[in-house]
Chains A and B, each alone.
Chain A
Amino acid sequence: MDRSKESARSGIDQAAWIRGLTEARMSRRSVLQKAGAAALVLGASGPLVACGITGTKNSNSNSNVDWTAWWKKQKRAGTLDFANWPLYIDTDNGKHPSLEAFTRKTGIKVNYKAVIQDNAEFFSKISPVLQAGDSIGYDLIVISNGWQLNQLISNGWLTPLDKTRLPNFKRYAGKVATTLAYDPKLTYSAVWQAGVTGIGYNPELTGGPIDSIEALFDTKYKGQVGMLSDDDEVGSAALLALGIDPPTSTYEDWQKAADLLTKQRDQGIVRQYYDQSYIKALQNGDVALCQAYSGDIFQSNNSGYPNLKFVVPKQGSMLWRDNCVIPLNAAHPVDAIEWINFYYEPKIEAMIEDWVNYICPVPAAQPVIRNQLDDPAVADSPLIFPPPSMLKRLHEYPVNATPETHQKWTGLFDPIIQS
């Protein structure tokens, strides 16, 4: 790498570093939000008085609307209120070039707010508003696959996307954006970014490379293994270790997975069930190996920890997605869907991808990043543009869409994480 190239990259590295401190994905279940949640417990109890709590089902749902006719009537408003996670879009001196390009092309002014820091917390804020049939004030939000998105879908709180307005999506969306277990017909979701939960490790402490998920359960690493504190992640990893494909797993499979995880914990293999702080534990050498999100290790490598490695073990890894969805009663749905279509243009996706560094939903952005943005490190990374051989090994999460299955899942795995 020549000098000029190196200094050109250092801006990105710095962004990666800042992002590493405060990044969206990581704060998913991070502590800061949980502190706020304590206040929420008090606040939410107000409307819950009287005998019982109304369910969210069928409150104000999308089921009785002719959406084709509805979309025909909608007009561009010239404004887009867009809620996303912090540091999840290209940023240059406080401005977002991709959004500016969108405004130049369409005249739509974008109010971009990085207000989502945790799926559960954000859901608890918008849920009462949607239940009352009001607009949440955002036309587009980014939500990870999981229980909260499942509820948004099953409660009928999302606007079905008008496919005729998404020619770029049809043309450019890659496999990670078109095979969604939780939204198989792509009715509501357009993937913003995807990522892999694999194993991050420090080769000096593990004494060599790791290629099997069984390493997480190996007594050789007693007290040196980190697991994530997210029940979806922990349960899925155990299912993979047992050779079970998570989305088709049964309750009996879950019990086997729970037994494996209980044994792993009781043998003292697990040092800690980490929230996003796992990355610091890996950097500090507190754990030798840990369940890890791909983007975090990539960012660590660029910010002073080149020794850390990330592996998609031979049994495979979990593939998560953050999705753009349009909430019900959004004030500017046409502007929102125009932005989604604009985002799926390879040239625009490349601008954002080169900054964000997770898995790109638009494979055609790869040559743009390599040739026009001149950033082969990003273009050639298998964790940003996964080759088909890797995609084959990535698994969908179990979709526990009903409260019953969700309760069964959390009832098995939460007591292991919080013992």
Chain B
Amino acid sequence: MGGNLKKRLSPYLQTAPANLWLWLFFVVPLFSILTISLTTGNSVEGFAMTWNFSVYPDSISQYSVQFARSFMYGGVSTALAMIAMYPVAYWIAFRGGRRKAVFLFLLLLPFLVSFIIRILTWQFILSDQGIVLGTLKDLHLVPQDLRLLSTPSAVVMGLTYDALPWMALPIYVSLERIDRDVIEAASDLYSSAWQRFRSVILPLSAPGIYAGILLVGISNVGDFLSAQILGGPSTTMIGNIIQTQYVQNQNYPVASALSLVLMVSLLIFVLLYGRIFGSQTIKDFV
């Protein structure tokens, strides 16, 4: 009997640290954010619970533009990062030879420098008379009044840049795990290089793409630094609004409501995405 109980309890005991972590640092704060979002008041006189559910429709309608923009920037930057990094991961996995570890390290090397510094460097690179635009303008390759800083493209560029290694690593892992015999078998069956890629390698690397998109997409939608540093007057993302409402204006209910809406909409996106492209389909592919 005792042994039986122990057996039944053991999975719970094993997951206890993770459970504790989740409850303490996720569920409890989440509950407190939910409560705060339904209060009204101000920081001086205090916030009282008034079950003010209208904060949700109000803040969604007031900031719908910023919500839509965040998802658009997040989506575009994730797609760009995938297009840019798939070939890199492919090359390291199949052509990297004995130096794979070195190449992976090189990929991560810039990320040893603080994010703020790197994004500030982009500001320097993209400035109107900076090393890129200044040179191109001197050579008359681009119009003199072309601008990158303070435009949506600059924000997407910043988001894409930061996403690169987080996209490359999972794709690399999935490519690396592909059994080389399977590819050889495809060649033996007279497949062309394109057919091998299309019917064998790409489907087998789908889990890596899936993980990369999740990793990058979620963090990019909620990002606020790129928009703040590289953006212009109309590139504000929802992360910037939440930050201002919370720290500058001490408008805790609106900040909490916006955070929850962002979280729930990301969750819906992840669930749908998982349904459509998730593990089920990957098995079908295989």
Contacts and interface: CB of A to CB of B under 8 A. Distances in A.
A120 B266 CA distance: 29
Contacts of B247: 34, 37, 40-41, 120-121, 124
Contact of B244 (A155, A270, A414): A414
Contact of B42 (A50, A55, A281): A55
B127 A419 contact: no
Interface in A19-58: 29, 31-32, 34-35, 37-38, 40-42, 45-46, 48-57
Nearest to B236: A418
B52 to A, nearest CB: 11
Contact of B233 (A50, A273, A404): A273
A29 B124 CA distance: 20
Interface in B24-63: 28-29, 31-33, 35-36, 39, 41-49, 62
Interface residues of B, number: 53
B129 to A, nearest CB: 5
Interface string B111-143: 000011000000110011110000000000000
B196 interface: no
B249 interface: yes
Given A35-B116, A37-B243, A410-B249, A50 B123 contact: no
A183 interface: no
Contacts of A54: 46
A403 B244 contact: no
Given A35-B116, A277-B123, A407 B42 contact: yes
B123 A38 contact: no
Nearest to B51: A51
Size category of the binding interface on chain A: 35 or more
Contacts of A321: none
Contact of B28 (A31, A38, A49): A49
Contacts of B39: 51-53
A38 B243 contact: yes
B231 A272 contact: yes
Contacts of A286: 127-129, 147, 149-150
A407 B252 CA distance: 13
Contact of A52 (B46, B130, B243): B46
Given A51-B49, A55-B44, 20 more contacts: A31-B228, A34-B224, A34-B247, A41-B243, A45-B33, A46-B32, A52-B48, A55-B46, A55-B47, A56-B44, A270-B233, A272-B150, A284-B130, A286-B127, A286-B128, A286-B147, A403-B44, A410-B248, A415-B62, A418-B240
24 contacts: A34-B228, A35-B225, A41-B246, A41-B247, A41-B259, A45-B36, A49-B28, A49-B31, A51-B35, A51-B49, A53-B36, A55-B43, A55-B45, A56-B44, A271-B232, A272-B149, A272-B233, A284-B128, A284-B129, A286-B127, A286-B128, A410-B249, A418-B240, A419-B236
Interface of B: 28-29, 31-33, 35-36, 39, 41-49, 62, 65-66, 115-116, 123-124, 127-130, 147, 149-150, 224-225, 228-229, 231-234, 236, 240-244, 246-249, 251-252, 255, 259
